[in-house]
Amino acid sequence: MIALRAVYFRYRRGPAILDNFTAEFPKGITTILGPNGSGKTTLLKLVAGVLTPQRGHVEVMGRPPAELRGRIAYIPQTGGLYPWMKIRDNIAIPLKIRGLQPAEISQVVRDVAEALGISHLLDRYPREVSGGEQQKVLIARAVASEADVWLLDEPLSMIDIDYRRDVIEALRRLGKTMLVITHNVQDAVDLGGHIYIVRGPPLTVVSSLAPGQYSRDAAELANAVRQAYKP
């Protein structure tokens, strides 16, 4: 579903973040667990097509990300909202880009906002809402976009504990292919998909666990995570 083959990428300054990295992420939800600075966000940006590898290939549904624009929803950890647009317009951007009629756009925005419990935020600017609410807006925008593949960079990090389970359940119910970065082992387990434990740079997969595998052997999961986070 999502494949990276012999990918090399480094920023203008600094070491290689991905060096001959090869991995395949299956359909459904895949969670990536790993320490800060290991290259997880870079991996997500490469799959989103925001960054282009210097060597190697990235494929999503068998095609390069550049050919799938509009079908991939990338939800960055921070700064994904346009500060000059009200929340309503932030959610509406992919719909406007797709050329939908204003009435249809308003309806979709209203429906999505209601589903995520953010209707009361629609006429505010991003700076007027909390970090957790901003994350919900980003998720709302991805829902509105009807993208096939979702790339989420720590989407739950600022969402209240009480609401976190609801968001996880909502993500699971969507049934989309998702690559989710998190630091929270419990969130990874609750999301219920494949779990990749990584470290780096350069990014390497320490362990990968299929659904069901880690629920049977929680000790193995905890041990792999500890290994990855060890300096």
- Which residues contribute to the site for other proteins (CB under 8 A)? 45, 48-50, 65, 69-74, 76, 79-80, 82-85, 93-94, 97-98, 125-127, 145
Closest by CA to 187, choosing from 227, 153, 216, is: 153
From CA 126, how far away is CA 137, in angstroms rounded?
9
Backbone angles phi, psi at 89, to 5 degrees: -75, -30
Closest CB to other proteins among residues 125, 229: 125
Closest CB to other proteins among residues 59, 190: 59
Closest by CA to 185, choosing from 215, 160, 162, 158, is: 215
Closest CB to other proteins among residues 51, 198: 51
Closest CB to other proteins among residues 57, 96: 96
Residue pointed to by tokens 């935020």:
121
- In the complex, the smallest distance separating the C-beta of residue 83 from other proteins, rounded to whole angstroms, is 6
Closest CB to other proteins among residues 94, 187: 94
- In the complex, the smallest distance separating the C-beta of residue 222 from other proteins, rounded to whole angstroms, is 34
Both structure tokens of 200: 């780096």
- In the complex, the smallest distance separating the C-beta of residue 66 from other proteins, rounded to whole angstroms, is 8
Q: What count of other Cβ atoms lies within 10 Å of the Cβ of residue 110?
A: 14
193 half-sphere exposure, CB direction, 13 A CA radius: 25
- In the complex, the smallest distance separating the C-beta of residue 84 from other proteins, rounded to whole angstroms, is 4
- In the complex, the smallest distance separating the C-beta of residue 74 from other proteins, rounded to whole angstroms, is 5
Helix axis angle, 161-174 relative to 131-145, nearest 10°?
10
- In the complex, the smallest distance separating the C-beta of residue 49 from other proteins, rounded to whole angstroms, is 6
Backbone angles phi, psi at 149, to 5 degrees: -125, 130
Rounded alpha-carbon distances, angstroms, from residue 209 to 32, 143, 223: 11, 27, 12
